[in-house]
Amino acid sequence: MWPYPKVIAHRGGGVLAPENTLAAMQCGLEHGFAAVEFDVMLSKDGVPVLMHDPEFGRTVRGKGSVATTLAADLQRMDAGSWFSEKFAGETVPTYAAVVQFCRAHGIWMNVEIKPTPGSEIETGRVVAQLSLDLFADVAPGEVSRLPLFSSFSFAALAAARQAAPQIPRGFLMSQPGSDWQQRLQELEAVALHTNHQHLTAAVAQQIKGAGYGLLCYTVNTRERAAEILAWGVDAFCTDRIDLIPADF
């Protein structure tokens, strides 16, 4: 039984706010979403921050990278005006600040661990260790009050498992290969996270039949959402929080 919400605001606020910012979390909340996905990587000084791209240029202007920039500097960088002037001054938030915001508002989190190349193990370990502190008051059995970690990086999730085995994991595979079940077993993962575009009813049935949760990204039409839910998919991220309501 899937213990988490069914519809998840991708990168916080989908298409309505600058991704992976506190304003995005606020935007999702204002649209009735009590579940978010966001991306976490490490700054130069090893602080988990929210960011999708390892290199600047898209959501943060200029040249440079997250892995070569101190967290204090990232927290001063404008991660909002690329999206709209309305969000100018919105900065790169730390993971800790976002967890604090989400927990204060009852928002459940799918924390995508997105290591910069070469920092897979460290990122998984550090995010998991910090999460132990941030969720120290939650009993291990209360899974719906804990985040769900996910990552395309097997090594990052394995490191997260070692550091915080009680925080559940979902393995991200854009298209489940023949080894999907073995990989999930190795990680003691509770779910497979996959690109809905490659999913078929038969594969969904196999995954669900094996007893795993199944989460899809990134589903942006109501028709497709209804189709995959009918296949047994448990949950999906969406950018279109304006089209697909949280209670879809």
31 is catalytic: no
The nearest distance, CB 143 to Mg ion, in angstroms, is 20
What is the C-alpha to C-alpha distance for residues 169 and 194, in angstroms, rounded to an integer?
Answer: 13
Determine the angle formed by the axes of helices 120-134 and 95-104, rounding to 10 degrees: 40
Q: Are 79 and 20 in contact (CB under 8 A)?
A: yes
Q: Would you give the end-to-end CA distance of the chain in angstroms?
A: 18
**120 interacts with ligand G3P by CB under 6 A:** no
236 binds, options ligand G3P, Mg ion, none, Cβ within 5 to 8 A by partner type: none
**120 interacts with Mg ion by CB under 5 A:** no
What is the C-alpha to C-alpha distance for residues 5 and 2, in angstroms, rounded to an integer?
Answer: 8
Which listed residue (5, 9, 35, 39) binds Mg ion by CB under 5 A?
39
Interactions with ligand G3P, residue window 155-214 (CB under 6 A): 172, 193
What are the φ and ψ backbone dihedral angles of 123, each rounded to 5 degrees?
-65, -45
Which listed residue (20, 43, 91, 150) binds ligand G3P by CB under 6 A?
150
52 is catalytic: yes
Residue 80-119 contact track with Mg ion, rule CB under 5 A, x = bound? --------------------------------x-------
Both tokens of 161, joined, read: 């498992």
Single-letter residue type at 54: P
What is the C-alpha to C-alpha distance for residues 235 and 225, in angstroms, rounded to an integer?
Answer: 9
Residue 209-228 contact track with ligand G3P, rule CB under 6 A, x = bound? --------x-----------
Dihedral sign from CA coordinates of 75, 60, 21, 87: positive
237 binds, options Mg ion, ligand G3P, none, Cβ within 5 to 8 A by partner type: ligand G3P
150 binds, options Mg ion, ligand G3P, none, Cβ within 5 to 8 A by partner type: ligand G3P
Q: Catalytic positions, please?
A: 10, 52
